[in-house]
């Protein structure tokens, strides 16, 4: 694909890494180019004109020049800093988790405007709603759709029979829910029992609008079941651990031991 | 690499490989360093080699502030002139040098050796946070100044530390944020400008 030597794009910063004396290598997610890695010169100096416009989880308008290896960001101007998201540790950490998922699911320079939109509204929602867990689960389900891994939740992924309320299994290898007979006939290593309520919630997350889904009330147990099911499915697809989950777990534990302050994960 | 063709003698290739591991040094720079050293008199090269070994032999971590120093406790922690009721928490040892240049701080330091970065797998266990809490448990500290970098990871680290320190009843402060000297208002981002407005002070010329 040929591109203009200097190009303009909107982008969300999903990763950064120090480079050289005062530079940074920045990973951007853009609507029409997809994921790009670019270098931003001098942004670690306090007097940098771009520094504040290129922090993590920031949506900015950029001007970049094509480089030999990495593109070079020459101008940056902030559109949205997602301030409500960054005001709280739990929300911010959820945002970083979403950014890691986008990073791990996407190859470089493969445009996907719908994913960009989903990611943007997710960061807005994480700042707006107290139900961080629910926002993340909705994001994960829609991300799986967009990436072509939509889990089958109504029919058995093995025998195509309609899933009945009762003991069922979520099979990462089969790509969805499997009925008990199929599971006992041919158990796969990543199968795990899934409750009737969890299947119902997953169906709502998959089929209904966000406005409907956000009205769901998840108890702590159901929330952690959903987290576990989707996490193991995503880990199975990507064949690698999502590193931020460890940090989210740390925060959940902290929430259970120390007095309130973060928005309680998973509670109504 | 082709087995029958070695572009450089083995010791030369080895040194190039070692230089290449340094941050910001690519293969070409590594080659330049190596061939420069080959032309240097032996005592120069020996001095460099000794300096390299010395940093590993004599530099240790201060058991209190976790700074990289020659003695334990470090000059800061053992000095009677420093105010031991204040601890300034920084990400890297280099940040201490920057703060000391300001000559405005007379308290002690604590080096975390990084900031929380979930995506890179850096959580609280990878940082010197336990050691900071242990210092607070002694009950001598009145104020903790959070001087982590003013970016998202630095903020996350500061927020997390704040949560952990609440039970100790110490005063927790954060370095002010705003416009840098010699900066240009036009190029400031909205977040910085907002914080500069919020943190404005009575004008005292």
Domain positions in chain A: 6-83, 129-255
Query: Per CATH, the architecture of B63-202 is what?
Result: 3-Layer(aba) Sandwich (3.40)
CATH 2.40.50.140 fits A6-83, yes or no: yes
Give the pLDDT band of residue A221 (cuts 50, 70, 90).
very high
Burial class (CB in 10 A: 0-12, 13-18, 19+), B71: exposed
Give the pLDDT band of residue A264 (cuts 50, 70, 90).
very low
Q: What is the pLDDT of residue B5?
A: 55
Q: What is the pLDDT of residue A35?
A: 96
A7 touches chain B (CB under 8 A): no
Mean pLDDT to the nearest integer, A97-119 = 96
Q: Is the confidence metric ipTM above 0.90 for this complex?
A: no
Tokens of B52: 């390299």
Q: Is the pLDDT of residue A205 over 80?
A: yes
**pLDDT per 10-residue tile (average), chain B, 205 residues:** 62 91 87 93 94 89 92 90 95 94 94 94 94 93 95 95 93 90 81 87 85
CA distance A164 to chain B (A): 39
- Which CATH number applies to B10-58: 1.10.8.420, 3.30.470.30, 3.40.462.40, 1.10.150.120? 1.10.8.420
Give the pLDDT band of residue A170 (cuts 50, 70, 90).
very high
Percentage of residues in chain A with pLDDT exceeding 70?
A: 94
The contact set of B with A (CB < 8 A) is: 23-24, 116, 118-121, 123-124, 151-153, 155-156, 159-160, 163-164, 166-167, 180, 182-184, 187-192
CA distance A106 to chain B (A): 15
Mean pLDDT to the nearest integer, A85-114 = 95
How many angstroms separate the Cα of A23 from the Cα of each of A38, A51, A78, B24? 11, 10, 19, 10
Give residue-wise pLDDT tens across range A175-185.
Answer: 999 999 999 99
Q: What pairing do the DSSP bridges indicate for beta strands B143-146 and B171-174?
A: parallel
Q: What is the pLDDT of residue B177?
A: 85
CA distance A13 to chain B (A): 11
Query: Per CATH, the architecture of A129-255 is what?
Result: Up-down Bundle (1.20)
This prediction's pTM: 0.87
Domain coordinates in residue numbering, chain B: 10-58, 63-202
């Amino acid at each position: 694909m040929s591109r203009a030597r200097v190009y303009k794009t909107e982008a969300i910063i999903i990763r950064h890494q120090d480079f050289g004396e005062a530079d940074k290598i920045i990973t951007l997610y853009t609507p029409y180019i997809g994921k790009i890695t670019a270098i931003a010169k001098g942004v670690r100096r306090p007097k940098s004109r771009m520094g504040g416009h290129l922090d993590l989880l920031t949506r900015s308008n950029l001007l970049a020049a094509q480089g030999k290896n990495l593109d070079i960001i020459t101008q940056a101007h902030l559109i949205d800093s997602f301030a409500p998201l960054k005001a709280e540790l739990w929300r911010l950490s959820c945002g970083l988790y979403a950014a890691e998922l986008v990073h791990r699911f996407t190859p470089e320079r493969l445009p996907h405007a719908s994913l960009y939109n989903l990611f943007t509204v997710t960061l807005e929602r994480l700042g707006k709603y107290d139900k961080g867990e629910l926002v993340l689960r909705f994001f994960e389900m829609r991300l799986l759709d967009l990436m072509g891994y939509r889990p089958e939740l109504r029919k058995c992924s093995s025998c195509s029979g309609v899933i009945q309320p009762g003991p069922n299994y979520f099979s990462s290898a089969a790509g969805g829910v499997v009925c008990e007979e199929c599971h006992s006939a041919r158990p796969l290593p990543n199968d795990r029992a899934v409750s009737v309520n969890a299947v119902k919630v997953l169906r709502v997350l998959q089929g209904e609008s966000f406005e409907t889904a956000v009205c769901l009330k998840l108890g702590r147990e159901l929330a952690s079941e959903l987290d576990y099911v989707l996490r193991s499915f995503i880990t199975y697809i990507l064949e690698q651990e999502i590193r931020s989950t460890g940090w989210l777990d740390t925060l959940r534990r902290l929430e259970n031991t120390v007095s309130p302050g973060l928005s309680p994960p998973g509670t109504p | 690499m082709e087995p029958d063709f070695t572009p450089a003698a083995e010791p030369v290739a080895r040194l190039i490989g070692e230089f290449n591991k340094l941050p910001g040094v690519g293969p070409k720079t590594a080659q330049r360093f190596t061939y420069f050293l080959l032309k240097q008199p032996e005592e120069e090269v020996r001095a460099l080699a000794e300096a390299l070994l010395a940093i590993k032999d004599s530099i240790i971590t201060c058991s209190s502030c976790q700074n990289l120093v020659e003695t334990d406790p470090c000059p800061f922690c053992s000095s009677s002139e420093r105010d031991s009721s204040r601890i300034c928490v920084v990400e890297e040892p280099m940040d201490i040098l920057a703060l000391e240049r300001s000559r405005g701080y007379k308290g002690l330091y604590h080096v975390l050796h990084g900031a929380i970065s979930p995506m890179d797998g850096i959580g609280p266990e990878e940082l010197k946070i336990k050691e900071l809490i242990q210092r607070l448990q002694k009950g001598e500290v009145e104020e903790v100044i959070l001087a982590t970098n003013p970016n998202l990871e630095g903020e996350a680290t500061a927020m997390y530390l704040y949560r952990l320190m609440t039970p100790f009843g110490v005063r927790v402060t954060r370095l002010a944020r705003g416009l840098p000297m010699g900066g240009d208002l036009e190029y400031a981002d909205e977040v910085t400008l907002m914080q500069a407005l919020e943190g404005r002070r009575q004008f005292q010329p």
